[in-house]
Amino acid sequence: MPVLFRTLLLVIGLTTPLPLLAQAPAGGSDRPSLVCVAPEEVSPRRRLDRDGSSPLRIFSEQFEALHEEPVRFHDSVRVEVGDQRLETDELIYDRLSGRIELPALLRYSDALIMLEAESGWVETEISRARFEGVDYRFARGEGSGEAGSVELLSPTTARVDDFSFTTCDPDQPDWQLKAGQVRLDMERGQGVARHARLDFKGVPILYSPWLSFPLDDQRKSGFLYPSLGFSSDDGFDLRVPWYWNIAPNQDATLTPRWIQDRGVWLGTEYRFLTQRQRGQVDLEVLPSDREADRNRYYGQLAWQARLAPRWSAHADLRRASDDDYFVDLGSDLADSAVQFLRSSIGARGNGRAWSLQVMADAFQVLDANVAAGNEPYRRLPRIQLDVDQPLARGFEFVMDNELVYFDRDAGVTGARFDAHPRLRYNLLRPGWFVRPELGFRTTAYDVSGAEVSSTSRTTAIASFDAGLIFERRTARGDVQTLEPRVFYLYVPFENQDDLPNFDTRELTFGMSQLFHHNRFSGADRQGDANQVTLALSSRLIGASDGRSRLEASVGQIFYFRDLKVQLEGTPVDERNRSATVAEMFWRPARQVVLSAGLQWDHEESETQVARFGLSFIGRDSRQAALGYRYRRDRVDQIDVRFRYPVRRSLNLIGRVNYSFEDDETLELLGGIEYESCCWAVRLTGREYIRDRDSESRRTVFLELHLKGLGSLGRRPYPLFTHQHF
């Protein structure tokens, strides 16, 4: 008898995957508080239990077992196995045929789902069952639905008639997924729905006569949700992606796209994964673009491989058909600002004290304003060997080596070898440290196109780094630190005017530059130095959680002689001190984060660089962010973003990105969001600069998100890192 009741519970348990029809890819992240039906309280006794070790228990007020007659339980029948429970008023078991009749209302529940049926029967000998008038609800408030009937055709297949699913309130479902008939194959992990329909507010918005879907976490081929947008220069923009599950380790997504004023665009994404390799191939094709009057394409290959223990290889190859591809077919301001496409291929290996990288890269220039003589060099190849070998008694040997061949269609080309060995001593103690370092740097060239084909430079580099760390407890129990630091750098002057310049630029001055051995990137220029950096930092660390609530740093370089090594066309720097650099990060409350940075030039009494950021996350979807960036004579921009609830479920969203330097709005976005417990809608309009000629593009996006099902439409991009939509 216990085996038969276990079979009964297994039969009902097999019917519970029905709502998996709605487990399609979902977008957005919903607030846990916004659920239409409160989650069922799951006590420790109702925790998920499927190991088969729990005993089967049967309770009933009446029990009849007459000779050669069916066994009959009635009046408050209850069957329990682990977390599973079946309740009904009557249960009849025929010992000869193995048939179980459930003529009265039955209720089944476990830690995951609750199910009611008007009646049912189970034939245990042939593993068949049928239940009429089924209502179900997930115990965690994740959805509910109905079925006219559920029939188990075999231990692994079931058929459901008149199926529905929603995450809304069952008494008032704003949206419902319905199907005339659903067939479930648990062995294959596949379901098929006939006459599937999605209703929103009682209006059908999607229909499919045949729909196939997965019943587990296995991928399945099929159409994904389409997206629709509109722009002022291209008209309507419709994408209908199709997912292809090629093999367990391969898949692809084909995305036909109709652009009203340009034509039909096709995007392909192919991915593969093996024990030693992974890769992705993206190809976008727009044949016969009606606006540009040419064929257009973009392709990218991203590949990684593990060649051997501690050895790997990679490739990242990109190519576009023309300079304006991202300007015309991109979706935001970042796409329009792409100047170069970098392609690279290489291999890397490492040991306990060394790392070796061999690579080659090239650039496709997309910015027409970049002259041929200013295009980035191709590095064919670049070999880099780094050594970091600990020695005895705190000493450490460090060496950076690089060999590169630079190639370009115009200008000087050739090879460069750079080596920077140094000996470092680390003396670390609680509350203080001392780190002296002594080395030299040599750089040699073999070039063509210059007056001198072979030349070199060698210079010594010495530094001394030391700091103290003081700590104290505040009245609240937090830990406050005070960390003074001094850094001395000496590099003798070496005339480098005759050396070529392949990849060297002056580094952006900031806090990290206060403690760097060179003020230039690359190896073509080694800056001379006789200078000392004085810096002071402080942190406030919370006693309860160990998080940093406040971080502040300020520092400045004092020069003991003029900076003679400069890039071509730049005069000798005769200042006796650098700009003062200050940075701060502060979290005054859990909802507020503030960051700021400043570079103040004492010589000219003006700000060189400034930045400011303020973010706020409040209750009821309140979010705001303010950002400001300033770089003298180059950048002066403010960026404001917000989400403000005008009602409980209605939010206004917006963004303004304005350039004071150009006296121009770079991007303007506004929209509304409505969010209920089971669905949300977002309508946004955008206007942004699409190219250097300040031509603007206007777009409209509409997105309908059905929680637990997915999203229809298209959003421009997330305004904030943490989305509630």
- pLDDT tens-digit readout, 590-645: 899 999 999 999 888 899 999 999 999 987 778 999 999 999 988 999 999 999 99
- In the predicted structure, residue 32 carries a pLDDT above the cut 80: no
* Side-chain half-sphere CA neighbours of 603 within 13 A: 9
Q: How far apart are CA 680 and CA 572, in angstroms?
A: 61
Most confident of 166-180, 255-269, 688-702: 255-269
584, two tokens = 């701060």
- In the predicted structure, residue 432 carries a pLDDT above the cut 50: yes
Q: How far apart are CA 711 and CA 722, in angstroms?
A: 18
HEC profile of 386-397: EEEEECHHHEEE
First vs last C-alpha separation in the chain: 51
pLDDT band at residue 358 using 50, 70 and 90 as cut-offs: very high
- In the predicted structure, residue 356 carries a pLDDT above the cut 70: yes
Report which secondary-structure segment, H or E, holds 9. helix 2-15
Q: What was the pLDDT predicted at 410?
A: 85
- In the predicted structure, residue 718 carries a pLDDT above the cut 80: no
**What is residue 376's DSSP assignment?**
P
608, two tokens = 């060189």
Nearest to 100 by CA among 80, 126, 75: 126
Burial profile 314-345: b = 16 or more Cβ within 10 angstroms, e = fewer: bbebbebbbebbbbbbbbbbeebbeeebebbb
* Pairing assessment for the beta strands 99-102 and 128-138 based on DSSP bridges: unpaired
Mean confidence (pLDDT) of the chain: 86
Q: How far apart are CA 349 and CA 339, in angstroms?
A: 31
562, two tokens = 């003029």
Q: What pLDDT digit, counting tens, does each position of 50-73 carry?
A: 555 677 788 899 888 887 788 899
pTM of the shown model: 0.77
Amino acid at 652: L
- In the predicted structure, residue 9 carries a pLDDT above the cut 80: no
DSSP code per residue over 457-517: EEEEEEEEEEEE-EEEE-TTS-EEEEEEEEEEEEE-----TTS--SS--BPPPSGGGGG-S
The answer, yes or no, to whether the previous bond of 381 is cis (omega within 30 of 0) is yes
**What is residue 563's DSSP assignment?**
B
Among 9-18, 261-270, 461-470, the minimum mean pLDDT is found in: 9-18
Q: Under a CB-based contact definition with an 8 Å cutoff, are residues 260 and 236 in contact?
A: yes
Q: What was the pLDDT predicted at 212?
A: 73
In the chain, what percentage of residues exceed pLDDT 90?
Answer: 52
Q: Under a CB-based contact definition with an 8 Å cutoff, are residues 405 and 415 in contact?
A: yes
Q: What was the pLDDT predicted at 463?
A: 98
362, two tokens = 């090239």
Q: What was the pLDDT predicted at 274?
A: 96
In the chain, what percentage of residues exceed pLDDT 70?
Answer: 89
Q: What was the pLDDT predicted at 30?
A: 34
Q: How far is CA 438 from the centre of its chain?
A: 42
Q: What was the pLDDT predicted at 57?
A: 82
Q: What was the pLDDT predicted at 16?
A: 46
191 vs 667, residue with greater confidence: 667
Q: What pLDDT digit, counting tens, does each position of 363-418 carry?
A: 999 987 788 778 999 999 999 999 999 999 899 999 999 999 999 988 899 999 99
- In the predicted structure, residue 455 carries a pLDDT above the cut 70: yes
CA angle 656, 660, 663 (to 5 degrees): 90
CA angle 478, 483, 486 (to 5 degrees): 175
Amino acid at 288: S
248, two tokens = 């367990």
pLDDT band at residue 676 using 50, 70 and 90 as cut-offs: confident
- In the predicted structure, residue 45 carries a pLDDT above the cut 50: no
Strand ranges in 29-171 using DSSP code E only, listed in sequence order:
56-59, 62-64, 71-81, 84-94, 99-102, 106-109, 113-117, 119-123, 128-138, 144-154, 157-166
Q: Under a CB-based contact definition with an 8 Å cutoff, are residues 712 and 226 in contact?
A: yes
* Side-chain half-sphere CA neighbours of 60 within 13 A: 18
CA distances 346 to 290, 379, 383, 402, 403, Å, are: 39, 11, 9, 14, 14
Q: How far is CA 120 from the centre of its chain?
A: 47
